[in-house]
Amino acid sequence: MKAWGLRSLQVVLIFVPVGVAAAFLAMQTSSQPAFCGTCHIMKPYYESWKTSTHNDVPCVECHIPPGITAELQKKYEALSMVVKYFTGTYGTNPWAEISDEACLRPGCHEQRLLVGREVFKNVLFDHRPHLLEMRREKKLRCTSCHSQIVQGQHIAVTESTCFLCHFKDTKLNEGTARCTLCHEIPEKLITTAGLSFDHADVKRLGMECTLCHNNVVKGDGDVPQERCYICHNDPARLARLGDVELLHRTHVTEHKVDCLNCHLEIQHKVPKELEIVATECQTCHVGGGHSPQRDLYVGIGGKGVPPQPAAMYLAGVRCESCHIVSHEGRKLASDVSCMSCHGAKFSRIYEDWQTTLAERLQKTKELLAHVQPLIAALAGAVPLAAQQSLQRAQENILFVERARPVHNPGYASALLRQAYEDLQQALRAANIEKTLPAPWAEAPYQTKCTACHLGAATLSKETPSGPFRHESHVARRGLECTRCHQEANYRESHHGAPKLQCTDCHPAAERMAQLQPQECLQCHQAQIPTRSKLVKFPHDQHISMGISCALCHQGVTQQSHLDFLRSGQGVPQLGHEFCALCHQSDVPPQGGDCLKCHTDF
């Protein structure tokens, strides 16, 4: 017996240390991240950890909170997981919790609460109130915002959690959904899609962010009851679904369950382009409702013209941003809409758009009404090409009229111009020799000036030097706006101010009589007619012979030029005697055919 007891003691003395050593070795081995990755259900988490910002931190540093008791407990749980894995009793959805103490321990993020406000993706954020104060009557934890696995990134910021807390059951730009709660107003000039906007005016004028930044929140963050069945099947627990305080305390505060495990996602982002026109109006106006206006704003829907989105559409401005004027239960747009963002000067721009676009539409419709009976009166079958051109012109005109051209002035004008060309093409295809007058004059180029000043190409203005016609300078000669006007932001006082005097380009009074033909032709080459009301006179033939303009246009002065601009009357009244100086045999009484020079009258 004594020998048996001695051997038992020896066995104990041998195996107990070995067991302790084995247990210690097992605990140490199970503490290594690579050991976690050996289990196939843990591989996705292990792979995300390897590429995360925490890949130099062992798993147990976060998953085991500080303190010897907690560490022993976690070691036991880790070994239990190993046993369950080998016995096949494990679950396929492993659950782990990370306490705030693990994150805020010395050597990690213990200073996080003292950092103060910092910028994360252009958003101001302060950890202290979120962790130390109640947020919406809820106690948040680190993992409330830093998900344990988000899109393959371990412990990344779960932005959807922020949106859920700030926007659920809250109107945009109110309460926890206030824009300035997270975003500073950028006091600088921002240019988007060719439009410049000074955000300093937002603060100065107290403008609403939602005038432009609307439709930036999607989703309601509700909790479908069926999500509870993923984890629970106890009727007693399911019966307490309506106890919101209990649910948040149990899931968020005590067990750090990710918010999106229960709640549907709320998205907060700048909408994609087509989402900009997905407005509340569509709940009633679908199909044949506001779709023409929407299509014109997007820059589609016409024929023969490439897509041309409105600058405001490209800048993210939604329908509701302009339709802010209440009228008989509806929201209308007016010059007030423009002035609310761009200032009082834009009242004139809006009026110019309305007037100019209405005139262009009306003139194009008149041309259509003129061409239709000409083609209808053709004997025999109308050529297919003529029918197609006429049909396309009709469709573009009708589309612009229904869509209201003010929604996209540039695209609307291009479609009306295309309609004019199609009407002309219809006449040619039908072998009708007729040239339609151009519906309107416009600049032969597009600049940021013409984006707003639609009618500038035909504008006439009285100046100290006399009337000034943009048509002769812009539409005919193609001069850039900045040739004569100062270029500046539209809010600056010198925006568009003249930087030239007429005499900077045109001769002074004392030189008018000595002008050479090439100097006159700087302005008049596109305006010289081949005939007047009484006389056919080929200017080009006389000019090519080197004859001075002053020979016929005697006594020309600055005042006579101004009188011509005002009245349109300035043709010299020269008699037969003057023409006979060169054309002796062609002028009465010597002889000649009267109709050689004179028109039929």
Residue 46 neighbours by CB under 8 Å, 6+ apart: 33, 34, 36, 37
Q: 128-158 as b/e, with b when 16 or more CB fall inside 10 Å? A: eebbeeeeeebebbbbbbbbbbbeebbbbeb
Average pLDDT of the residues of the chain: 76
Torsion of CA 33, 39, 43, 49, to 10 degrees: -20
Report whether pLDDT(492) > 60. yes
Q: State both tokens at 91.
A: 């679950």
Query: What 8-state DSSP symbol labels residue 288?
Result: T
Q: Which of 16-30, 115-129, 380-394, 460-474 has the lowest mean pLDDT?
A: 16-30
Rounded CA-CA distance 418/416 in Å is: 5
Distance, in Å, from the CA atom of 515 to the CA atom of 502, rounded to the nearest integer, reads 16
DSSP 408-438: SHHHHHHHHHHHHHHHHHHHHHTT----PPP
Q: What is the pLDDT of residues 43-90, one digit of tens each?
A: 777 777 777 777 888 877 787 777 777 667 666 776 777 777 777 766
| pLDDT tens per residue, range 522-536 | 666 545 666 666 777
Residue-wise pLDDT tens digits, 389-402 = 999 999 999 999 99
Supply the pTM of this predicted model.
Answer: 0.57
DSSP 547: -
Residue 118 structure tokens: 């910092």
Residue 564 is predicted with a pLDDT of 60
Those residues with Cβ within 8 angstroms of residue 369's Cβ, 6 or more apart along the chain or in another chain: none
CA distances from 239 to 236, 243, 254 (A): 5, 9, 20
Tokens of 244: 């919101």
pLDDT tens-place string over residues 277-328: 555 555 445 444 558 888 898 888 899 999 888 888 877 787 877 888 888 8
Instruction: Judge residue 194's burial from the number of C-beta atoms within 10 Å of its C-beta, 0-12 exposed, 13-18 middle, 19 or more buried.
Output: exposed
Distance of CA 215 to the CA centre of its chain: 13
CATH of domain 24-96: 1.10.3820.10
Percent of the chain whose predicted confidence (pLDDT) is above 90: 11
Please give the Cα distance from 393 to 305 (Å, whole number). 12
Considering the chain, tell me which residue range(s) the CATH 1.10.3820.10 domain(s) occupy: 24-96
Give the tens place of pLDDT for each residue, 146-171: 875 544 566 778 788 888 888 888 88
User: Would you state the torsion angle of the CA atoms of residues 420, 422, 427, 431, taken in this order, to the nearest 10 degrees?
Assistant: 150
- CA distance readout (Å), 126 to 13, 112, 131: 58, 9, 9
